[in-house]
Amino acid sequence: MSAQSADPRTRQLHLNLFVYPGGHHEAAWRHSVSPDPDRLLDIRFYQDLARAAELAAFDGVFFADGPALADNVRYASRFRLEPFTWLSAVAAATERIGLIATASTTYTEPYNLARLFASLDHLSGGRAGWNIVTTGAPQAARNFGLDAHPVHAERYERARDFLEAVGKLWDSWEDGALVADRRSGLFADTDRIHTVDHEGPLLKVRGPLNIPRSPQGRPVYVQAGSSEDGRAFAARYAEAVFTAHQTLRSGQEFYADIKQRAARLGRDPGKLLVLPGISPFIASTESEARRLHQEFNELTQPEYSLELLHRLLGVRLTQGELDGPVPRELIETGGERGNGSRFQLVLDIVEREQPTVRELLHRLAGARGHRVIAGTPEQVAGQLQQWYEQGAADGFNVMPPWLPGGFDVFAAQVVPILRERGLFRSEYEGGTLREHYGLARPLSRYEAARSAAAPVA
């Protein structure tokens, strides 16, 4: 049964708080509603955010990461806190909310990453989720002793090998291997602890892991790429997909495609959640919300925004061209950049809307290509409901333009409307991220093999 065909009386949307230092609008740090930038290095700021999201019964908090300093930190809040340190501190301050972190398959090793996530899952009582990325930032390469960033296809080949290796590591302790029998003196059943001996196309890992199987069996697999390689990867491995769409039609096409791909691989498409990003400016009237959005846009730095556009489209423009049309003829669709899903999203805006350069920069300033809404709480809730009920989303990554206020108003004014309409929970029913997402705890490969070999009664 697909997610769309599930009983509408029981199906409800999923909400994550996507935390980005200071907020998702590139000029948020300059606006008077935002906190002093020093707070962005204070864990208590993030613990308060996570507790507020937990009070609203959100499925999870998501903390993105990248292993390099962004080129444009001169004009925007672009530093990165290390996510496992961050989430461990957040885990200690919360009880139920899921904890989702980005980690790169290109710039980590399977054994180290498996240990980090298994530890987080144990210490949080089963709340870990892994946002699987191959890393798109080419400047990361030299931070890890490489002369050049691996090309798109090579990164995904390593990612597939990586997933196979870490999956074996997380299963290397069977459930029940930890005995801890004081009377007999048996601490661990070593017959249920297995070497991995993974030898893939690119990676070799012996194992076993040095920590027992975690409460969820393994963290929830989240994936965020929408390229052809990314869609194929998500259909095979992901349990939740973070994605960016500007139009309902685009969201519907992606939703149908990813569910169909999963079904063709023998998966239940209802167990693969599609969660687009949404960045809302909320006020008591639509005109006030639009004015607030415009206030943020007027604080953008053209030099920063033009550099972002260059990274996305490969076109170098100047401030003297801001009020002219985006030169479509200069945008090359071939090569490595053309493989990226965000490239295609921005190109679609250019071709569909024919904006000026300034208008396009303001579109991207809000959430780097994710959908920005400016409206009343009822209008925002209505758009979420439309996408949810018309086959474009199973829920959303909420990306407040600024923090904490942009989230506070969403939790206080939009969430109650969603609850009144029967679209979102009032309280948690489970304690793990898998339970929040409606996902079963997977059997270990050893238990699955025994079940498959058992005679049918």
Residue 376's pLDDT is 98
Residue 10's pLDDT is 65
Opening angle at CA 431, ends 425 and 432, nearest 5: 100
Q: Which of 48-62, 100-114, 337-351 has the lowest mean pLDDT?
A: 337-351
pLDDT band at 1 (very low <50, low <70, confident <90, very high): very low
Residue 3's pLDDT is 41
Q: How far apart are CA 135 and CA 153, in angstroms?
A: 12
The answer to whether residue 256 scores a pLDDT higher than 80 is yes
Q: How far apart are CA 199 and CA 35, in angstroms?
A: 49
Which has more pLDDT, 405 or 305? Answer: 405
Q: How far apart are CA 142 and CA 158, in angstroms?
A: 18
The answer to whether residue 9 scores a pLDDT higher than 80 is no
Query: How many other β-carbons are positioned within 10 Å of the β-carbon of residue 349?
Result: 18
Q: How far apart are CA 367 and CA 256, in angstroms?
A: 24
Residue with tokens 């999923």: 14
Q: What are phi and psi of 275, to 5 degrees?
A: -130, 90
The answer to whether residue 338 scores a pLDDT higher than 60 is no
Q: How far apart are CA 292 and CA 374, in angstroms?
A: 8
Residue 337 buriedness (CB in 10 A; 0-12 / 13-18 / 19+) = middle
Sign of the Cα torsion 180, 181, 186, 191 reads negative
Which CATH fold would you assign to the domain 14-281+371-449? TIM Barrel (3.20.20)
CA 45 to chain centroid:
21
Cα distances from 76 to residues 21, 64, 153, 288, in angstroms, run: 10, 16, 31, 25
DSSP 290: H
Tell me: the pLDDT tens digits for 416-434? 999 999 999 999 999 999 9
Q: How far apart are CA 428 and CA 435, in angstroms?
A: 9
Q: How far apart are CA 213 and CA 118, in angstroms?
A: 7
Q: Where are the domains of the chain?
A: 14-281+371-449
The alpha carbon torsion through 88, 61, 232, 265 (nearest 10 deg) reads 90
Q: How far apart are CA 398 and CA 59, in angstroms?
A: 11
> Containing H/E element for 155?
helix 152-170
Residue 46's pLDDT is 96
Q: Quick check: 304 and 74 in contact, CB under 8 A?
A: yes
The mean pLDDT value for 119-135 works out to: 97
The mean pLDDT value for 90-111 works out to: 97
The stretches of 201-285 forming alpha helices (DSSP H) are 228-237, 248-264
Tell me: the pLDDT tens digits for 389-417? 999 999 999 999 999 999 999 999 999 99
Tell me: the pLDDT tens digits for 187-230? 999 999 999 999 999 999 999 999 999 999 999 999 987 788 88
Q: Which amino acid is at 212?
A: P
Q: Comparing C-alpha atoms, which of 276, 138, 216, 123 is closest to residue 433?
A: 216
pLDDT band at 339 (very low <50, low <70, confident <90, very high): low
Q: How far apart are CA 157 and CA 168, in angstroms?
A: 17
Residue 71's pLDDT is 67
